[in-house]
A and B are shown apart, each in its own frame.
Chain A
Amino acid sequence: DAGVIQSPRHEVTEMGQEVTLRCKPISGHNSLFWYRQTMMRGLELLIYFNNNVPIDDSGMPEDRFSAKMPNASFSTLKIQPSEPRDSAVYFCASSFPMAGPRYNEQFFGPGTRLTVL
């Protein structure tokens, strides 16, 4: 398996532009998590999905952020309009199904480094 796949790996955009980050979880995983990492705030959970359904979006900073998971193999995180303070590394992670001995291990993707000018 290729692991969790994220694209793009780097994104540089100007303030006010729309940004879409993409994630493909590991096949067979039914939980998907979006995190944001900055020096100041560390690793923050933004939103997560179980079986393609958003379960907890309390970490989404504001209405400019939205996430979707149209099917089990694809998710997007969108920022519209983007602001300089959104600059961060965004990680997607997925985990095994809830049953089984290793269901809690989260596998992280390589991340997307977003810079908003």
Chain B
Amino acid sequence: GENVEQHPSTLSVQEGDSAVIKCTYSDSASNYFPWYKQELGKRPQLIIDIRSNVGEKKDQRIAVTLNKTAKHFSLHITETQPEDSAVYFCAARDGSGNTGKLIFGQGTTLQVKP
């Protein structure tokens, strides 16, 4: 089955700097890679996703890149703001069958210092 590894587990940046979170996956059949943001005490919410037929996707200050050959994908946040502080989870859709099952990484706690 699919396995997703996420790094780093914690990340601290100064406001205005960029933040990068990286994930690797094991199943070459996986074709969908979402990123979720979870603020303290809240539910995970989708912030951006990418499908395997695309190498990069951008939405304002957030971008995601995908390298299918190396089986890794990354989240890039530019011009970070204190409200970006949260736990970020990457996920990969299980490639076995058309089920919609997601395998999540362990999460990255991002702290943006004012």
> How many residues from B make CB contacts under 8 Å with A?
20
Question: Is A105 an interface position by the 8 A CB rule?
Answer: yes
> 5 A-B pairs, CB-CB below 8 angstroms?
A105-B34, A106-B102, A108-B43, A109-B43, A110-B43
Residues of A with Cβ closer than 8 Å to B?
Answer: 31, 33, 42-43, 45, 48, 50, 55-56, 91, 95, 98, 103-111
Q: Which of B44, B101, B106 contacts A45 (CB 8 A)?
A: B101
A31's partner among B32, B45, B100 (CB-CB below 8 A) is B100
Interchain CA distance A97-B98 in the complex, whole Å: 11
Q: How far is the CB of A102 from chain B (nearest CB, A)?
A: 9
Q: For residue B103, which residues in chain A have a CB less than 8 angstroms away from its CB?
A: 45
Of A31, A56, A98, A105, the contact of B49 (CB 8 Å cutoff): A105
A-B contact count (CB 8 A): 53
Using known A-B contacts A50-B99, A56-B101, A104-B93, determine if residue A42 contacts B106 with beta carbons closer than 8 Å. Answer: yes
Residue of A with least CB distance to B43 = A108
Q: Which residues of chain A have C-beta atoms less than 8 A from B32's C-beta?
A: 104
Is B104 in contact with chain A by the CB < 8 A criterion? yes
Q: How far is the CB of B27 from chain A (nearest CB, A)?
A: 15
Which chain B positions have C-beta within 8 A of A109?
43
A31 to B102, CA, bound (A): 12
For A107, list chain B residues within 8 Å (CB). Answer: 46
Please name all residues of chain B whose beta carbon is closer than 8 Å to the beta carbon of A111 when the two chains form the complex. Answer: 43
Please state if B101 and A98 are interface contacts (CB–CB under 8 Å). Answer: no
